[in-house]
Chains A and B, each alone.
Chain A
């Protein structure tokens, strides 16, 4: 297997970079038949993904988003060429912290995996298989292991520093990155969140956060400069405002925000947050959603269900997931990875900016829920908040097999959510990044059965009760 991976071009990062360099050249003013023509000549997996991105309702936003991804990958390559350090971070670490350093550029493990799964022939399976060949366990998380597997081949673009802040919120993530750092002989920077949300626990987190910054400063040979931080965080604040604007747009019925915007939102958040490209891409998402609201556009005849995905989504078949759902009237309001809780960071002085970044990091997805005093209580609270805010009528837990920490709390969350809000949860099982575990067809079938038999019937029941109590018939209120 390693023999098949001996050419530098065969690494995940390098392959993805080349593909996105080509994709970035797609003009923005193509007609639908021209898009069809382009899709026709694309390799199968890429074609599938691009079908999801290039549907007319999402096309403009997608082109902006794909361009952002290309510039993110390019930034990492340029950093390397210029002798700056590339820092591999997990999705729950805010990349803007790395952007605050002149000598560093962040790349994100799970995003690279998702790009590989989305764009490469054979998706990410060859890298997964390589990692398994080293003796790593088959219950590891594919979100990490695909990118890490590629890095472990030692023929791919490699980071200079590994940073991890997942222990206490995800064992497999922290162990996988620790293994990578040791295997490649890279420095490992870490940040722990005590599972403690009392003022004392928060104070301790801030203390660890400052120690982590000192470690980075030492490794990068650079002290954080107030002016640069202010510039980066000003862009963060602008993107954060746009995030909340987009959040509010989800509240309309039918939802004017295309399903795949959920993925794009966190795709932006986990890569270029703090760069001008992120502001511009968020603006694009907001403007498109506003225009759709104005035109009352929705991909199906009617919105049948408004679903909140309680943790991750599925990424190995984007048209089969995001597009299929909305074309069947099922709105994907967002998932746990969208719960990034962006905040406006005061830019007054160094301390306030550092504290603002620490607070942002403390509230990133997974860190905030699984790293809480109770892994089910905080998660439940966030789901209840999101479902109420957005008017969800059902929840779906993707059941990514490696998320043992969420599996540990999933039963309590499902029971309590139903008891407290009446919202039912569908529990699926599969691998979000590997198609060979549960097929998209099987997932679609389970989602459809759930929506038809539980969500729709429940709504029908509510309507019938309303009709009985108000004496209204025919579904049109005359009261």
Chain B
């Protein structure tokens, strides 16, 4: 059986090393608002920045403060200690105040050869779509110019098709989690998505085919409750494993390293840059988007309903403004809809937090009678 956990635990994976050895270039990005099709069409490897719960933030702390999200400080530390030296460039997005700080300080301290700031509006309207369409066109030109490669429309449309394939496979994968007797755990699903976020789409689609074949007849039994996980940037496979270790199987999620990154990614325009603007801005289920709370709530309720969850855990990193405020509203609204909620504020990557997290999950399972 494919060892999912091992694949997802390294920053520079075997896949990345082979890609680089073959002369490939790797471009890092931090947010699911980045249209990776553009990077793929340029023949590059889009690599989503992760820290996998890396506990050492000392280098990052010399630039960001202890009031900044520890996930961003951990990523920055890895950027500064050389773990990300395989990157040939970095794409900044204005996902949140912490993420912006991470990118700015990274570039300030390290100075990557290619650095592009993709500015993502905070709402969906014709005028913001116009702006984002131009942003995407500028991103294309900048990649083409720096890496001296053509990024033609046809290539981008092909990349869209490949992403569509990945997304349909991921939806199938989530189908395995939703079964009455699930075939895949939440930790495994997170590992798969993290693995795929460091691969080119065509290769990831093949890997997903293998996983679907191997795991489709598997049965996970003996768990106490079906849980949904939602909240801020969570690439901590160990955290999900800890939650599941208490008997609550995570059968679905609304995480940006999860369903939010692929679920409803569509556009309508026949013009590729506009299509991508619609696809990415129009389906960004992140609390950074203003005045879209009702859409996000609907998205979460739909995922919860189809997976028949017994409860939801809202997990966010200390100092995450977006999810911190959102959690107060979500808790009330999910409970109004009959879904018990545990709000779990945590310190990213902190081993010392693990015991507390387990205790709270145990108490939650008892509260919901499981």
Contact = CB atoms under 8 A, between A and B. Distances in A.
A, B assembled together: yes
Interface in B91-113: 94, 96-98, 100-102, 104-105, 108
Contact of B101 (A195, A208, A409): A409
Interface in A284-311: none
A135 B291 contact: no
A20 B294 CA distance: 40
A468 B76 CA distance: 46
B121 interface: yes
Nearest to B324: A137
Given A178-B290, A375-B101, A404 B331 contact: no
Contacts of A183: 329
B64 interface: yes
A459 interface: no
12 contacts: A135-B332, A135-B343, A176-B325, A190-B290, A192-B121, A196-B119, A375-B101, A404-B97, A408-B100, A409-B101, A410-B65, A411-B62
Nearest to B64: A408
A171 to B, nearest CB: 4
Nearest to A373: B117
B363 interface: no
Given A140-B325, A172-B321, A211 B101 contact: no
A341 interface: no
Interface residues of A, number: 48
A168 B122 contact: yes
Contacts of A195: 94, 100, 117, 119
A128 to B, nearest CB: 14
B88 interface: no
A171 B96 contact: yes
Nearest to B126: A211
B122 A407 contact: no
A194 interface: yes
B104 A409 contact: yes
Given A407-B67, A409-B101, A411-B62, 9 more contacts: A136-B324, A140-B325, A175-B287, A175-B322, A194-B131, A195-B94, A204-B127, A376-B104, A408-B102
Nearest to A403: B67
B345 interface: yes
A412 interface: yes
Most chain B CB within 10 A, of A190, A200, A404, A405, is at A404
Interface in B310-349: 318-319, 321-322, 324-329, 331-332, 343, 345
Interface residues of B, number: 46
Contacts of A403: 67
A182 interface: yes
Contact of A408 (B98, B131, B327, B328): B98
A175 B293 contact: no
A163 to B, nearest CB: 12
A284 to B, nearest CB: 38
B329 A182 contact: yes
A201 B121 CA distance: 11
Interface of B: 62-65, 67-69, 94, 96-98, 100-102, 104-105, 108, 117, 119, 121-123, 125, 127-128, 131, 134, 287-288, 290-291, 293, 318-319, 321-322, 324-329, 331-332, 343, 345
A376 B97 contact: no
Nearest to A141: B321
Given A135-B328, A139-B321, A179-B325, A404 B101 contact: yes
Contacts of B290: 164, 167, 174, 178, 190, 192
Among the interface residues A182, A399, A408, which one has the most CB atoms of the partner chain B within 10 A? A408
A402 interface: yes
A194 B328 contact: no
Given A192-B122, A194-B131, A408 B329 contact: no
A41 interface: no
Contacts of B125: 211
Contacts of A174: 122, 290
Contact of B288 (A171, A176, A211): A171
Nearest to A205: B131
Q: Which of A136, A183, A401, A411 has the most CB of B within 10 A?
A: A411
Contact of B68 (A136, A167, A407): A407
Contacts of B127: 204, 207-208, 211
A409 B103 CA distance: 11
Contacts of A374: 104
A410 B68 CA distance: 11
Q: Pick from B94, B293, B325 the residue with the most CB of A within 10 Å.
A: B325
A97 interface: no
A411 B343 contact: no
Nearest to B99: A408
B326 to A, nearest CB: 7
A397 to B, nearest CB: 10
Contacts of A176: 325
Contacts of A137: 321, 324-325, 327-328, 345
B63 A412 contact: yes
Contacts of A194: 119, 121, 131
Nearest to B95: A171
Contacts of B119: 194-196, 201
A318 to B, nearest CB: 25
A190 B100 contact: no
Contacts of B98: 404, 408
A175 B121 contact: no
A207 B67 CA distance: 34
Given A182-B329, A194-B131, A404-B101, A171 B123 contact: no
Contacts of B97: 170-172, 370, 375, 404-405, 408
A86 interface: no
A412 B105 contact: yes
A357 interface: no
A201 B130 CA distance: 12
A183 B329 CA distance: 8
A84 B163 CA distance: 52
B242 to A, nearest CB: 22
A376 B108 contact: yes
A188 B123 CA distance: 13
Contact of A171 (B321, B331, B343): B321
A134 interface: yes
Nearest to A181: B291
A137 B322 CA distance: 10
A178 B293 contact: yes
A108 B186 CA distance: 45
Contacts of B67: 139, 401-404, 407
B165 to A, nearest CB: 33
